[in-house]
A and B are shown apart, each in its own frame.
Chain A
Amino acid sequence: MTSAAGQSPPTARDSGLVGCRRCTRVWPIETEVCGRCGHALQSRDPQALQKVWAWWLVGVGCYVPANLYPMLETRTLVDSQDATIVGGAVELALHGNWGIAIVILVASVLIPVGKFLVIAALALGVRYRSGLSERLRHQLHEIVEYIGRWSMIDVFVVAILSSLVQLGTLAAIRPGQASLYFALSVIFTMLSAQAFDSRLIWDTDPAPKPAAPAERSPA
């Protein structure tokens, strides 16, 4: 790949072309479907940011009940208790399990909240020229896309615990309401991050006005 250092390479859009985001094949900009892989082509989706915000809002909306309802309902011979995400972590910390408490807080609070903030910052950065460099914003997006899936681990742990700890009257764990909301929140946040088109970060020029079909006269 040849490109002068420090100078931004030409983009497919600048060259009147559209690149397939699935298979990287290049087509004339008015092409609608990639002839190689069949993926829908769009140089820039004018509604991309709206989709990001829509998924983002539902994601945040689901994250609130995920923290209010219990994640796990534990019943043992002596007592039964409902633990919310934060409550469970505090409990562990009080029992001296600082390490796990911190892991849980990072995985279920710090990372989800961080994801919401980063996606919002990325979407706002496209609309209102961000002060952060393109490289940094691009890396943030890659990190959010990579880390997003890993938040599902909480839901899996609840699933494993509640299938495993079914010991009749001795001990039983049941999934709480929050596990459902938490799973939905993770899924919606993933969709929000996927809807964000990282090419928008690099578009310093305003998008060219879409040419009316009539202007593109057949050769």
Chain B
Amino acid sequence: MTHPADRTDLDALIACPRCDALYKVREPAHRERAVCARCHHVLIAPRRGAGAQIVAVALTVVVLVVAATIFPFLEVSVGGATNASSILDAALAFSGSGLFLLLALAVAALIVVIPVTRALLVIYVIAPLVFDRRPLPHASSAFRLSEALRPWSMAEIFAIGCAVALVKVADLATVSLGPAFWMFSVLVVLVVAQDSFLCRYSVWKALEREARPT
């Protein structure tokens, strides 16, 4: 099948996942980025100390999502009647008959379950690397799952949705913002920051290096 010599050489190559261009890896310096010359996809973007930052941010995300799920995030009042709604309420707004129940579950997954799962997976994978330990079992599967879930983590979209809903209700009733609204706003910034700090190439490289029996 493969020549043993090829195998070591392949380690020094990188294929752009978006356009298949093949490059010899030349690791960029701290805060520099290696970009595909053809399609401009960012291939490598290492940052020193990013690991600890990412773990810290992921922990914050978990705490915030759990807290934001419980506290009310918007409150309306009109003519003396008030109603406060938490994120869980919003997700379960659809819970009616059969198909709507599915939609309720999907919404809950997109705005709460998947963001939390991603944060937990990232902690699981990266925390050992930060402390120079061997990766935990199945770390590469965990990181792969976390990456696959990335487009489906929609906490930040939900936060913008809150703003739109605010405008729509404004002429129907008086709206006030609950504590969870602000937690979610912070969360949006954190999720975006986390994705831009994370250099996938560095993580895969580290997992590969650490997993190798010595």
Report if A and B associate in a common complex.
Answer: yes
For window 169-206 of B, CB contacts with A under 8 Å fall at: 169, 172-173, 175, 200-201, 204
A167-B94 contact in complex given A12-B22, A20-B15, A179-B103, C-beta closer than 8 Å: no
Flag whether B157 is at the interface (Cβ < 8 A): yes
Q: List B126-176 residues whose CB lies under 8 Å from chain A.
A: 140-141, 143-144, 147-148, 151-152, 154, 157-158, 160-162, 164-165, 167-169, 172-173, 175
Tell me the residues in window 163-177 of chain A with beta carbons closer than 8 Å to chain B beta carbons: 163-168, 170-171, 175
The verdict on A180 contacting B91 (CB below 8 Å), with A19-B16, A26-B22, A149-B154 known, is no
Q: Does A165 contact B169, Cβ atoms closer than 8 Å?
A: yes
A159 touches B107 (CB 8 A): yes
A38 within 8 A of B: yes
Q: Which segment of A45-53, A110-118, A121-129, A196-204 sits at the interface?
A: A196-204
> Contacts A9-B21, A202-B19 given: A28-B100 contact, CB under 8 Å?
no
Most chain A beta-carbon contacts within 10 A, residue among B26, B34, B38, B76: B38
Tell whether, in the assembled complex, residue A22 and residue B17 are in contact, meaning their CB atoms are under 8 Å apart.
yes
- Would you call B147 and A22 a contact (CB within 8 A)? yes
Closest CB of chain B to A184's CB: distance in Å? 9
Contact status B3-A219, CB under 8 Å: yes
Whole-angstrom distance between the Cβ of B147 and the nearest chain A Cβ: 6
Cβ contact within 8 Å between B204 and A218: no
Interfacial chain A residues near B20, Cβ < 8 Å: 11-13, 19, 199, 202-203
Residues of B contacting A2 with CB < 8 Å? 23-24, 26
Q: Is A198 a contact partner of B172 (Cβ separation < 8 A)? A: no
Give A74's nearest chain B residue, CB to CB: B172
With a cutoff of 8 Å between Cβ atoms, the chain B residues found around residue A100 in the complex are: 167-168
Instruction: Establish whether residues A153 and B157, one from each chain, have CB atoms under 8 Å apart when the complex forms.
Output: yes
A85 CB, nearest partner CB in chain B, Å: 13
A28 touches B78 (CB 8 A): no
Task: Provide the residues of chain B in CB contact with A23, threshold 8 Å.
Answer: 144, 200-201, 204
Contact B15 A26 (CB under 8 A): yes
Nearest-neighbor residue (CB-CB) of B104 within chain A: A159
Q: Residue A212 at the B interface, CB < 8 A?
A: no
Q: Would you call B204 and A37 a contact (CB within 8 A)?
A: yes
A62 and B71 CA atoms in complex are apart in Å by: 34
Which segment, of B6-14, B46-54, B58-66, faces chain A?
B6-14
State which of A37, A142, A159, A166 has its C-beta within 8 Å of the C-beta of B94. A159
Q: How far is the CA of A24 from the CA of B39 in the complex (A)?
A: 15
Is the beta-carbon distance between A161 and B140 smaller than 8 angstroms? no
A199 and B165 contacting across the interface, CB-CB below 8 Å: no
A155 contacts chain B at the CB level, 8 A cutoff: yes
Q: Do A159 and B15 contact each other (CB < 8 Å), given the known contacts A183-B106, A198-B39?
A: no
A164 touches B165 (CB 8 A): yes
* A17 x B157 contact (CB < 8 A): no
Bound Cα distance A23, B17 (Å) = 8
- Would A218 and B173 be within 8 Å (CB), given that A24-B14, A164-B83 are in contact? no
Report the minimum CB–CB distance from B205 to chain A (whole Å). Answer: 9
Which B residues form the contact surface with A (CB < 8 A)? 1-3, 6, 10, 13-24, 26, 34-39, 43, 74, 76, 78-79, 81-83, 85, 89-94, 96, 99-100, 103, 106-107, 110-111, 140-141, 143-144, 147-148, 151-152, 154, 157-158, 160-162, 164-165, 167-169, 172-173, 175, 200-201, 204, 207-208
Q: Which A residues have a C-beta under 8 Å from some C-beta of B?
A: 1-3, 5, 8-15, 17-28, 30, 36-39, 76, 100, 103, 135, 138, 142, 145, 148-150, 152-153, 155-168, 170-171, 175, 179-180, 183, 187, 190, 194, 198-199, 201-203, 216, 218-219
Q: Enumerate 21 A-B pairs (CB-CB under 8 Å) in ascending A order.
A: A11-B21, A17-B10, A26-B10, A26-B22, A38-B144, A76-B172, A138-B18, A138-B39, A145-B151, A148-B151, A149-B151, A149-B157, A153-B157, A159-B93, A159-B107, A159-B161, A164-B76, A166-B85, A175-B96, A183-B106, A203-B20
